[in-house]
Amino acid sequence: MRPARAVIDLSALRHNYRLARQMSGAKALAVVKADAYGHGAVRCAQALEGEADGFAVACIEEALQLRAAGITAPVLLLEGFFEASELPLIVEHGLWCVVHSLWQLEAIEQARLSQPLQVWLKLDSGMHRVGLHPKDYQVAYQRLLASGKVAKIVLMSHFARADELDCPSSTEQLAVFDAARQGLSAEISLRNSPAVLGWPQIPSDWVRPGIMLYGATPFETDTAASAPLQPVMTLQSKVISVRELPAGEAVGYGARFVTQRPSRIGVVAMGYADGYPRLAPNGTPVLVDGVRTVLAGRVSMDMLNVDLTDVPQAGVGSTVELWGKQVLASDVAQTAGTIAYQIFCNLRRVPLQYV
């Protein structure tokens, strides 16, 4: 059997969830969209059920997958519905629904619903992605109430730059949010992972941690705030071949790596078809038999090369950690010019193994 796999540590996931709740002193929706950032939404939700205040996903397809697996906790649709025809299902399955646009508000007003909805009314406080304009916010709130189709409304917004701890943008967005909700007494939800970890002064009744649940830092440079996170995924494989090369030999496609000294190069069963970033440069950290070494040469579809020259005890069969508790996914991602969010989401083909 091919040795490539992603080992998912569910106790680390629970640790990180508890941390999000502790740090914020708020209720926390565990964000498990995009198959729990590649970690397997059903298994992750099952591991958190019983203690999670609820879950958040991107669309009804993801929510129904959780319901089909027997998850009964609240599930929030972060973009609400995409078509009004989803509304009966939303009610039937007791899903919570973001309203981010006036067309959604109108659809709710016109819908015939057997039970009232739980709505999270989203304000565009400055990110300019989705959310109602501040001038429409109070009116939308009143119209939802007047529709008679809504049981409860939570007020929410989303930060564009909470991962930049020196940037005033989040404070400015908070001020816009506070002004827009003046006079409304409803629960609020603002903070994603970087805001939970880095902005303790920002209020929230509900937080929405995603990446931090999986133990990766949302910050570009690992700050002290992320230190207590425990990485959940270990992407691992084994060395399947080793060659000894003199100095001056090129390795792999495009001869991107050329040995500078007599070298031992190991081939690992892991490639970009598994989601390992093809753009990872020479020198990207890799752990072989517990020793840190580096990627050497271009990543192929099913294999990649590592420099074993300074890991003399390693050979065919040695265990390789591409990322995990020693080599952080965020470090690999940064070296490859991307973010941990993306390298997790890109994962495919490798079996997930839960411990």
Ligand X SMILES: *Cc1c(COP(=O)(O)O)cnc(C)c1O
Per the annotation, where are the binding residues?
Answer: 129, 301
Q: Which residue is nearest to ligand X (CB)?
A: 210
Q: Amino acid letter at 142?
A: Q
Question: Could you tell me the smallest distance in angstroms from the CB atom of residue 209 to ligand X?
Answer: 5
Closer of 129 and 349 to ligand X (Cβ): 129
Closest to ligand X by CB, 149 vs 208, is 208
C-alpha–C-alpha distance, residues 198 and 202, integer Å: 9
With respect to ligand X, which residue has the nearer C-beta, 204 or 259? 204
Q: Which is nearer to ligand X, 129 or 243 (CB)?
A: 129
Shortest separation between residue 59's beta carbon and ligand X, angstroms: 11
Q: Select from 67-75, 138-146, 208-216, 264-272 the region that touches ligand X (CB under 6 A).
A: 208-216
Q: Phi and psi for 140 in degrees, rounded to 5?
A: -60, -40
Among the residue ranges 202-210, 260-268, 284-292, 299-307, the one whose residues contact ligand X (CB under 6 A): 202-210
Least distance CB 333 / ligand X (angstroms): 13
Question: What are the start-end ranges of the H helices in 30-186?
Answer: 33-37, 41-48, 60-68, 87-92, 102-110, 134-147, 169-180
Footprint (CB under 6 A) of ligand X, residues 158-187? 158
Closest CA to 18 of 9, 30, 6: 30
208 touching ligand X, by CB under 6 A: yes
Question: Which amino acids are annotated catalytic?
Answer: 33, 253
In this structure, is the dihedral angle defined by the CA atoms of residues 229, 54, 179 and 121, taken in order, positive or negative?
positive
**According to CB under 6 A, which one of 38, 54, 209, 277 is a site residue for ligand X?**
209
Q: Taking contact as CB under 6 A, which single stretch among the options 99-107, 205-213, 283-291, 300-308 is the one that binds ligand X? A: 205-213
- Nearest approach, Cβ of 294 to ligand X (angstroms)? 28
Instruction: Establish if 193 lies at the interface with ligand X (CB under 6 A).
Output: yes
Give the interface segment with ligand X, choosing from 10-18, 141-149, 174-182, 207-215 (CB under 6 A).
207-215
Token representation of residue 330:
């965020």
Please answer whether residues 349 and 5 qualify as being in contact, where contact means their C-beta atoms are separated by less than 8 angstroms: no
Binding of ligand X by 75 (CB under 6 A): no
Residues at the annotated binding site for substrate? 129, 301
Phi, psi of 351 (to 5 degrees): -65, 145
Regarding 78 and contact with ligand X (CB under 6 A), the answer is: yes
Strand-pair partners of 6: 235, 352
Q: How many residues bind ligand X (CB under 6 A)?
A: 12
Return the residue of 192, 236, 309, 330 that touches ligand X, per CB under 6 A. Answer: 192
DSSP structure string for 174-231: HHHHHHHTTT----EEEE-HHHHHH-TTS--SEE---GGGGT--SSSS--GGGTT---
Give me the least distance between CB of 134 and ligand X, in Å please.
Answer: 18
Rounded to an integer, what distance in angstroms lies between the CA atom of residue 16 and that of residue 206? Answer: 16
Residues 6+ apart with CB under 8 A from 69: 42, 45, 46
In sequence order, what are the beta bridge partners of 5?
236
Give the footprint of ligand X on this chain (CB under 6 A).
31, 33, 78, 158, 192-193, 208-212, 218
